[in-house]
Each structure stands twice: as C-alpha cells, then as structure tokens.
Structure 1
C-alpha cells in the first residue's frame, strides 16, 4: 500500500521542480494557517500569565496565586471556536458569489478588527466579542486557503502542499509559545498585548500577495468563465510548461466541471450536495475532517501549558515550546513519505499512534498521579502524540477537499470545517471540567475517553475511507460517479478522465453552458 505507481490521468510532469511557482503561491496562501497555530499557543499560555490574570482573572487567597474562573476560561477559549463554526458555514454561499481570494481578504479584515479590540480593551465582554470575530476570521482563513490550494496544486503535489500548510500551523504554534515564554513573567498588560500584536503580521503579508495571485481555475469554470479559467491555470503553472501538458490539464478541468455543473438538477447547492453520489462525498468529507476533533487534539493543543502547570510539571512554558517543536518535526517528517505512501496508511498509522498516546499518559497518571515520574511520562507522550498528530493531520484536511466535486467543494468543505470546530468547541469547553482541580480533577486520566474515540476512527478508516493518492480531482469525481466501494479506488483506471485530457484543445470542442449557482 505504500509504493505502487498509480495509473493516473494527470498529464503534468510528476516532479517538484516543474511546479516551483505553484508551490510558492500555495506556500503564501497557507500563511493563513499560521494564525490558527498562533492563537492556540498564545491563548493557552495566557491562562497561566499573571499579567493576563490580573485583568481577566482573580487572586486566589487560598493558594496565594492568580487564577481564572473556569467559566471565563471556557468562554475565552471556546468563543473563538464558535466563531469558526459560524464562519465556516458561510464559506459556501460567499464563495459561490465572490470566489476564494475575496474570502481570504475578508478574513484579514475581520482579523485586524478583532485583534485591535483585544489589544485595546480590558472589558471582558469586549474580549468575548473579539474572540468570536477572530473565530470567524480563522474559519475563513483555514477553509478558503485549503480549498484554494486543493484546486490549484498539481495532483501529485497536493500532499506536499498540505504538509506545508501544517508546517505553517506548527510554526505559528512555536512562535506563539516562544513569545508567551518571553513575556509571561511581565505583570503588566504588555504580557499578553505584545503577543497579540503578532496577529497583524501574517494577514498583512497574505493580503498584499493575493493581488498578484490568480483566482482558482476550477471555481472560475463553475462560473462559466472559461477564458479566465485557462488564464488562471496558466499563471499557476511555470512559464516553461509544455503547451500540450497545460491544454491536457485544462481539458480535464473544463470538461469534468461542465459535466458536474450539468448534473445538478437545481440551484440550491446546500440541497444538491445531499443528493445521489454527492451525499456519500459530502458525508466522507465531513467525517475525515472531523478526525481532528475526534482524536483529542483540541484539549491538548490549547491547554498544554495550563495542563502541565496543574499537573505539577516544572518549567511548563519551556516544555510547551518543546511540544510545539515536536509538532513541526512531525509534519516535516511527513514530507519524506507523503508522495510515496497511500493516504489511508498515513491516516491509520496516525490515529493508532494518537490513541495509544492518550491511553499511555492516562495509565501513567492513574498509577502514579502527581509524581515526578508521572509528570515526565505525560510530557513524553504528549510530545509523541503531537508528533503523530501533525504527521497525519494535513492529509485528513486534504482528503476532505478531494472528495467533493468542484461545484460543491466550498459548501462541503465549509460544513466539514464547521462540524470539526463544533467538535473542537465541545472538547475545549468541557476539558476544564475534567482537568481543572476545582472540578473533576482527572488531569491526564482524561486520555481514556480519547483512546476510545481514536479506536473508532481507526475502524472507520479501514472500511470507508477511499484512496486518492496522485489522482486529479477529475479522476476522483469519475470514481465516485462509478459508485466504487472504498477498497476499489486504488488501482482503478479512469478511462473517461484520460479521454478528457486527450480531447481537442479548442474551447469549442465542448460546449460550456454557464449555470449560476446559489447557496
């Protein structure tokens, strides 16, 4: 499962050097994920900062330390996730009308607004509102960026590009943890205001760069803008690309997208995505993306520093940096195998490792709670969990985008992202009840619950997740329309898509009828 060549209709050169331009464009677009990693690391650290707790927490006379009320802790963490849920649901309707780039620009504007409020206000209500708006921004950054790179990258490099996406997220986490570590001893508001100012950097870079990048060619085709779609594809590929390769790829996109649009019996995409073969594709997209919330990553990501502090682990802030660095190492390691190992194998290995890590530190805390040995075991298995999670996580996102067709991709991906963040919200919102000493005080024993959920993910992958490595989006569409069972995707020869690539190079060979679609 980790080797054999795929008989694919991808007409492009299957190397990296021939597509450097597109990789660079996708790299800058994925700067959006930097924001998500940054938020997780920064806000998780705020919960243990005296400078932050003096403003939004209280002084505990019993412990003689600054603390935060569990409800405030929950709302600050979870309102961002709720905002992401709401924003993700709006991605489809917005994208149908305005496209991918305008979604990223709007996300930047919302980010600037929310960050300014968080820096400038000490009112807890304003903080809640800003966190919600930031969540909408993050949801749009994540979803629009991933939809764009799914539609722009060559089929054989989508895995590499999504690894870059996860690298950006891990780098954001490292930067956030490092800045928190540098400012956490400050007793003034600057302890959290300085880290928050970093939220302005990535969106500014991306917003300027987008003026020089083309819109997604596949989105343009769904709008019937054939000439613009070809021009967009040409701008995404290197200038020295063979004309026959470019035309073959464009023919696949043009003919397949036209067929996808014509298959739709109505204009309401929210309804059409649940009909016929598209129902299976939508459900799979939602399911695989929700792996991120179902493996227990949410409570570990956002509460690592707080959790280690409560568990009695010394030097919790430096350890949190080490954990985030392990995440970066995990995704960097995946760059060496993603082009050669099947998606299913990566997912299976990832969820198995994550589940065993959750079980391991739960057992360690059960047998020796509060001891130095248990603390070291918890740190060790959190590091292994983070490494394993980031090594497979980008490919769950990737599969979620590959399963939908060009017409429904933004709607299905937006819904899947929303459901994932709803699950994240549940994890973040309920975690304090389990790990906070003022509530159940389970600490690392919380991992028992997440071991069970990872076991379910493993079984689901075995029976229901199709293999799509090196397939063009048009080939994937053909295989779903053929109603193949999951285990038959690998090795299937897509003759119809190969014929599309060999079709005449003139637009007139296939009549393209523009059908306006709405949410």
Structure 2
C-alpha cells in the first residue's frame, strides 16, 4: 500500500448522478425511517404543551390557573423513548449479523405499530411509559438499520447526497409533526394528541411494502459467504445497462476486500471483541465519537423542547415559531445538497459545530443581559433558527462518517454501539434539560446555552486533529487506509494502490475475455473469406449464386 500526492479514487463506477437514479430511489424509500425520528421529536414536544394531553397525563395548576405537567412525568415521556433507542441500537449488531438489514427494518415497523396502538388507546401513565420505551427500540432500529443499509448500497461519490436525503426526511418528519400539532393543539379533548400520534403509522407502512421489492445489502451477503446472492443483489441496485467491466470491477473490489476483512473472523460471538483489537480500535473509537457529535452539540434539548422552551420564554404563538424553526432545518439540509459533492466532509463538520456553538452562546448572552424581555425572546427565536439551520446542514455527514469507518463485517455492531451511546447522551440531555430550563427548578432558560457552547468548541478541536477525510472514497479504500495506519490529516491525499488493483483486476479480466472473443471472431472471418461461407451455430448457410 503506497501513499501518493493526488486523491485519485479507486471507485470504478461512473461518477455521475443519472447512472445511479435507481439506487438513489431505493435509498430514498429506506431513508423514510428517519421520518419517524423527526416526527417523534416534534410531536412529543408539542404534546406536552397541549391542554387535551395535559388533562389526561398532567394536572391543573391552581396558582397559574392553567394545565401543567409534572417535571418528572415530562422527563420520563421524553427520555424513555431515548432509553429505548439505546437498548434497541445495542441489539442491532447481533440481529443484523444473523438476519440482515431488511429484516431489521421490518421488525422495527412491527414494534412501531404495537407501541403506537398502545399510546392511542391508553390513559394510564404506566402504559404510556412502556409504549414510549418500545417506540424507542423501534426508532433506534429504523435509524441504525437504514443508515447501515444506505452506507453499503450507495455509490461512494453519492453517499453524501443519500445522507442529505436521509436528513431531509428527518426534517420533513419534524415539520409534519409540528404542523399536525399546530392544527390540533387547541382541541379540548383526547383527539388533540391522538390525531398526531396516528401519523406514526404512515411511514412504516409505506416502507414495509416497498422492502419486498428491494435487495439485501450485497456487502452483508458477502460477509455471509453468499457470493452469488451478493452479485445478484448488486445487479439489482445498479442500472441494467451498466457496463459489464464497470460492474465486475465494483463487485470484485467488494468481494476481495470483504474476504480480507473477515479472514480472521470465526463466529459472531467474537465480533464484540474484534471492535477493540488492532486497527479496529481506532475505527471503532472514531465511529462512536463522530456519531456522538449529535448529542454533544446540544441538539437534543433544543429539538424536543423548542415549543415548551419558547412558551416559558414568553414567546407568543410558540407553536407557529416551532414549525418555523423546523423549516429552517429543512432549508439547511437542502442547502447542503449543493455543496456536499464539492466540499470536504471535515470542513462541513467543523463549520457546523462552530456555528452551533456560537448560536448557543449568542442566545445565552442575550438572556443574561435582558432576561424575559421581548427583545431577548426575539433573539432566542433567531438564534435557535440559525442553530437548527447549521446543525441539520452538517448532521447527516456526521452519521455518514460514522458508518464509513468500520469494517464490512463489523459495521452493524460498531454503528449500533455508536448510535446507542449517542442516544444515551441524548437521554442525558433530555432528562436534565427540565432542571435547567423549568421555572420550577433552576430556571436558567436560554442561559443553558453556555454549557453547550463549550461542548461544541471541544468538537471543533477534535474534528481538526482526529477526523479523517473520506469524501468520494469507496468503503474498501477506507479499509485499506485504516489498515495502513494512515494519519487522519493524510487521508485526503492517499492513493489506495491495493484497492485500485482489486477493482481493475476484474476489468482487465473482462477485457481479456473480450479480446479473445474478438480474436476468435476475426479468425472465423478470415477463414470465411478464404474458404467461403461456413455454417454458424450448426445451421446451414445459404449460398448465393
């Protein structure tokens, strides 16, 4: 393995978009999984400010003369879903090792249906807590299996676009949740929260039906030793008119590299130990770290408590502003579609975390200077909107990097562990936020942003020194660079000679076979010219007079 000066990728595919529209369409349906996550964040945050919901699960505050919710109940409703995602994500690796990626998405849909039905029918807090936990397992599986799948099936140069689509689905889910909440929040009865909850049925139903027509991940099939099925799966993911040499080059790269990656692997029980051995240790730690950026930048408390936060900040029409903030996230991720193919991923992440930190610092300072004022409230809205824009613009590429670093046979275990720890961090943020922002506790309000400014600055420094650049690299190239122990700052200019040789070996073989076929055809033509017409394929050739 040799390093070089130029960043020439070994990706044998055509580096355009049009040639891969079929695969992009499949990935778009799979990313519907993230719609559920965004929907939950927006819906549940709004439910806790609805009189119809509070009459069932809250209490009437005689002093304030309005319906309210106990901070502990608020914490459990929000955080139990996050605990569920933690537990579910830890189970992704073992389940995926045996059953694959598609089966995981189907099970996630089943759990979603069960938990949603319980939430719609119960008026008991215990049952609601249980349903939130089960829904968390479902959401964790949706997120993790979907991201592992699209990481493994999408072409290297389009993974950034696919993850931008993934994040846009999450934003659309949040917008849908905020909009439905806004439309029902004034209803006095249980329908105020039951109508929004019913939306949880829509996306999993669509995805479950479509999955019958989608192939399993070829890289997962290859780790199971199912070479023929892996080849058929890859063909279904690529356009039918793909050049055969191009297809064989990609397939050969996956086949040879995966065989190398699992050479020392014996059984599934050893995978948890392999994560921490040799070069896998670095890959595991980096994957977990970049995935946990999502909880470490303060997004969890802003996402789920935006409506509640704006309400206690004295902002009029908090539901409408919450929907506006969510729309800013969609604008952010759509904007990223225009630069993700041209800008380094490290730079996108660095700008993102820096901007998120400065936004939190800005509204914290504002609330310190003029707490409770109209001007401060407007400033809070402005900087929460900007925070959401920058966070959602960079967030998909943190998920993407986390899925690119692990080996093929360790990806589900590593990604599941990273996702679990991220949701553990989210739970910590969601669970502790009421102590800081609730007037009945510390009542810090927007000053809570000081803590998260410091956290984002740490992420900025970590990215600069430790996060490798993987833009346009195939998963097999990334494997080669980690095995060669390339420093993070040299990933960009490294030339993957071994992976390139794998890819071109099949192409040369294809050219060799074509060359022999052409030589044979030429020999037949010469013989035919010398001796006259000959029989072809056993059929007599009519001679002309």
With structure 2 as the length reference, what TM-score do the two structures score? 0.92
Partner of 2:461: 459
Q: 1:376 aligns with which of 368, 375, 378?
A: 378
Q: CA deviation at 1:143?
A: 0.1
Partner of 2:536: none
Q: Structure 2 matches for 1:308-387, cutoff 5 A?
A: 308-387=310-389
Question: Which has the higher Rg, Structure 1 or Structure 2?
Answer: 2
**Residue 477, structure 1, aligned to residue 486, structure 2:** no
- Tell me, in whole angstroms, the C-alpha distance in 1 between the residues paired with 2:71 and 2:267: 48
Q: CA deviation at 1:502?
A: 1.5
Partner of 1:50: 51
- Tell me, in whole angstroms, the C-alpha distance in 1 between the residues paired with 2:63 and 2:267: 64
**Residue 432, structure 1, aligned to residue 434, structure 2:** yes
- Tell me, in whole angstroms, the C-alpha distance in 2 between the residues paired with 1:457 and 1:294: 8
- Tell me, in whole angstroms, the C-alpha distance in 2 between the residues paired with 1:65 and 1:225: 62
Stretches of structure 2 that go unaligned for 5 or more consecutive residues are: 511-545
Q: 2:395 aligns with which of 389, 393, 404?
A: 393
Contact 2:53 2:193 in 1 (8 A): yes
Contact 1:47 1:68 in 2 (8 A): yes
Partner of 2:23: 22
Please list every run of at least 4 consecutive aligned residues from structure 1 whose deviation after the TM superposition is greater than 4 angstroms.
none
Partner of 1:513: none
Partner of 2:418: 416
- Tell me, in whole angstroms, the C-alpha distance in 2 between the residues paired with 1:292 and 1:219: 27
For the residue of structure 1 that corresponds to 2:288, the secondary structure is: helix
- Tell me, in whole angstroms, the C-alpha distance in 1 between the residues paired with 2:202 and 2:30: 14
For the residue of structure 1 that corresponds to 2:67, the secondary structure is: strand
- Tell me, in whole angstroms, the C-alpha distance in 1 between the residues paired with 2:266 and 2:493: 31
Q: CA deviation at 1:291?
A: 0.1
For the residue of structure 1 that corresponds to 2:76, the secondary structure is: helix
Contact 2:6 2:494 in 1 (8 A): no
- Tell me, in whole angstroms, the C-alpha distance in 1 between the residues paired with 2:487 and 2:66: 58
CA deviations 1:164-213 (Å, max 9, x no partner) are 00000000000000000000001100000000000000000000000000
- Number of equivalent positions: 504
- Tell me, in whole angstroms, the C-alpha distance in 2 between the residues paired with 1:141 and 1:228: 24
CA deviations 1:5-29 (Å, max 9, x no partner) are 8300000000100000000000000
- Tell me, in whole angstroms, the C-alpha distance in 2 between the residues paired with 1:193 and 1:5: 57
Q: CA deviation at 1:265?
A: 6.5
For the residue of structure 2 that corresponds to 1:7, the secondary structure is: coil
For the residue of structure 2 that corresponds to 1:503, the secondary structure is: helix
Contact 1:265 1:272 in 2 (8 A): no
Contact 1:6 1:470 in 2 (8 A): no
Contact 1:110 1:134 in 2 (8 A): yes
Q: CA deviation at 1:125?
A: 0.3
Q: Structure 2 matches for 1:132-171, cutoff 5 A?
A: 132-171=133-172
Partner of 2:286: 284
Q: CA deviation at 1:491?
A: 1.0
Q: Structure 2 matches for 1:168-183, cutoff 5 A?
A: 168-183=169-184
- Tell me, in whole angstroms, the C-alpha distance in 2 between the residues paired with 1:206 and 1:284: 31
- Tell me, in whole angstroms, the C-alpha distance in 2 between the residues paired with 1:199 and 1:308: 25
- Tell me, in whole angstroms, the C-alpha distance in 2 between the residues paired with 1:5 and 1:27: 32
- Tell me, in whole angstroms, the C-alpha distance in 2 between the residues paired with 1:119 and 1:187: 16
Partner of 1:258: 259
Q: Structure 2 matches for 1:29-48, cutoff 5 A?
A: 29-48=30-49
For the residue of structure 2 that corresponds to 1:262, the secondary structure is: coil
Q: CA deviation at 1:504?
A: 3.7
Contact 1:54 1:66 in 2 (8 A): yes
- Alpha-carbon RMSD across the aligned residues, in angstroms, is 1.1
- Tell me, in whole angstroms, the C-alpha distance in 2 between the residues paired with 1:144 and 1:5: 34
CA deviations 1:452-482 (Å, max 9, x no partner) are 0000000000100000000000000000000
For the residue of structure 1 that corresponds to 2:9, the secondary structure is: coil
For the residue of structure 2 that corresponds to 1:358, the secondary structure is: helix
Q: CA deviation at 1:266?
A: 6.0
- Tell me, in whole angstroms, the C-alpha distance in 2 between the residues paired with 1:430 and 1:423: 11
For the residue of structure 2 that corresponds to 1:32, the secondary structure is: helix
Partner of 2:499: 497
Partner of 1:101: 102
For the residue of structure 1 that corresponds to 2:262, the secondary structure is: helix
With structure 1 as the length reference, what TM-score do the two structures score? 0.96
For the residue of structure 2 that corresponds to 1:257, the secondary structure is: helix
Contact 2:245 2:506 in 1 (8 A): no
- Tell me, in whole angstroms, the C-alpha distance in 1 between the residues paired with 2:65 and 2:239: 62
CA deviations 1:16-51 (Å, max 9, x no partner) are 000000000000000000000000000000111000
For the residue of structure 1 that corresponds to 2:205, the secondary structure is: helix
Partner of 2:451: 449
Contact 2:335 2:393 in 1 (8 A): yes
Contact 1:37 1:169 in 2 (8 A): yes
- Tell me, in whole angstroms, the C-alpha distance in 1 between the residues paired with 2:266 and 2:64: 65
- Tell me, in whole angstroms, the C-alpha distance in 1 between the residues paired with 2:506 and 2:24: 28
